[in-house]
Amino acid sequence: MNDAVKQPVVPWYREVNRQQWRVFLATFLGWLLDGFDFTIMTFILVDIQNSFTVDAALAGALGTVTLLFRLVGGLGAGIMADRWGRKLPLMLSILWFSLFAFLSGFSTSYAVLFTFRALFGIGMGGEWAAGMPLALEHWPTRLRGLASGLLQGGWYWGYILSALTFSFVYPVFNEMPDPFSAAPESTLGWRVMFWTGVIPALLVLWIRTGVAESPVWLERQRYLKAQGSNVLENRVSVVRLFRPDLLWATVQSSLLISAFMLSYYSISFWYPTFLRDLNLDPLRYVVGFNGGAIVGIALWGSASEGRLGRRGAVTLAALTGVAAAPLFLTTSSNSLLLVGAILMGATGGGIWGMAPAYLTERFPTAVRGVGPGLSYHVGAAVGSVTPFVLGQLQDGGMTIGGAMLLSIVISGLLVVAMVWLGPETRGRQFSASDD
């Protein structure tokens, strides 16, 4: 009798055991809180401009420097993850970004805040590089696309959490004078937003005792020990990325994520400010965008396990996002603006459902920490120009909506072009001997 006939049909979530769910939850919450700590700043750019008397370009540069320094964290944590396991750099990264999110609230000048946001970016980059391979190496191969989408959705839950904090915590403190600034317009509200960023540090205590190390990484160590392997590339895995057989994977993955990042920050970084300029409370629109993204990335991630594959799912989501851009930025109707937010989240945001799976499948076990970590954060470094450039376009006379629309269309088309430069990766197996 055929084995497939004898196997009972069970819901997908029952194929995942308790330990696999624990690892998923640890990575999901780490990414959620990472997103929370970063997106807090997008709601208070106006306050920062008032407190330190800076223009829109310099306010946008705070996002740029954070994203640039993600590369440092992604590379460092990726090397650590391949050498010492996925858990340790995950915990260190969460502690790091929590500390510098908190310290950002004590900034006494633009230069100090700029420094703290740069240092925050190191931890932000490290969390993704260590957490994603930890989770995806635990989960069944056929559910990797779905897990990828659900995990990446943590960022959007974090964005919703920061929107709720802005709506309900910020107003309580926004009438209080700012003891750290001489500017009369400055109030305490924006600092309290940053201070809430220390909360993720508590997650580390649970990860330390409740989460298992990657079984693929542990098997890899046993394999290397049995082989008597002690070469440099097993000690410093980044060396392996630039050998001829992996060089194109490194380059193409970095180009693809660069396009992803240009798209995402075109959509999201100035969006709360766009809404505040229209005298609208950002909460319902930001929740609409992120709610759409949470559903969209899970659905696109799941769809990428079928006939569409990773490349087809990315392409369809990106092109639909480009088509939705005018509705996303319309000012003719608040109802249409909300519909556009939900649609843009589900499509332009939905492209991210495939990113964790695609990157982990592009690289062998030996470099599955540093490979995706480097590619993802090279992409973040390239995408980091988006907040600054959009700020410059505004300083030059363009509206926020016009600058966002132009950037969304260009970056969405780039996503489609870049994903087809690489192979289809759906269904690739992970192996301890995979070099």
Which pLDDT band holds residue 236 (cuts at 50, 70, 90)?
low
Q: Among 103-107, 369-373, 386-390, 391-395, which is the least confidently predicted range? A: 369-373
pLDDT score for 233:
46
Mean pLDDT score across all residues of the chain: 85
Express each pLDDT in 297-353 by its tens digit: 889 988 888 889 999 999 999 999 999 999 999 877 889 999 999 999 999 998 988
Express each pLDDT in 264-291 by its tens digit: 989 988 898 899 888 888 889 999 999 9
What average pLDDT score do residues 378-398 get? Answer: 87
Q: Give the position of tokens 């949470």.
A: 294
What average pLDDT score do residues 421-425 get? Answer: 90
- According to DSSP H, which parts of 203-307 are helical? 203-210, 215-227, 232-235, 244-268, 271-277, 282-303
Alpha carbon separation from 406 to 188, 401, 417 (Å, rounded):
35, 9, 17
Q: Taking 50 as the threshold, does the pLDDT of residue 70 lie above it?
A: yes
Round to whole Å and give the CA distance between 63 and 388: 8
pLDDT score for 364:
86
- According to DSSP H, which parts of 186-231 are helical? 189-195, 203-210, 215-227
Express each pLDDT in 245-263 by its tens digit: 889 999 999 999 999 999 9
Round to whole Å and give the CA distance between 156 and 291: 7
Q: pTM score, two decimals?
A: 0.78
pLDDT score for 435:
59
Q: Taking 50 as the threshold, does the pLDDT of residue 7 lie above it?
A: no
> With contact defined as beta carbons under 8 Å apart, do 297 and 353 qualify?
yes
Rg of the Cα trace of the chain? 21
What average pLDDT score do residues 98-105 get? Answer: 92
Which pLDDT band holds residue 137 (cuts at 50, 70, 90)?
confident
Which pLDDT band holds residue 434 (cuts at 50, 70, 90)?
low
Domain boundaries, the chain: 17-212+243-419
- 408-421 as b/e: b if 16+ CB within 10 A: bbebbebbbebbee
Which pLDDT band holds residue 128 (cuts at 50, 70, 90)?
confident
What average pLDDT score do residues 78-101 get? Answer: 88
Express each pLDDT in 149-183 by its tens digit: 888 888 889 888 998 998 899 999 988 887 877 66
Which pLDDT band holds residue 433 (cuts at 50, 70, 90)?
low
17-212+243-419: what fold?
Answer: Growth Hormone; Chain: A; (1.20.1250)
**Length of the chain (residues):** 435
Q: What tokens were used for 115?
A: 């420094």
Q: Looking at per-residue confidence, does 84 or 184 come out higher? A: 84
pLDDT score for 292:
94
With residues binned 3-state (H G I as helix, E B as strand, rest as coil), the percentages for the chain, rounded to 5, are 80, 0, 20
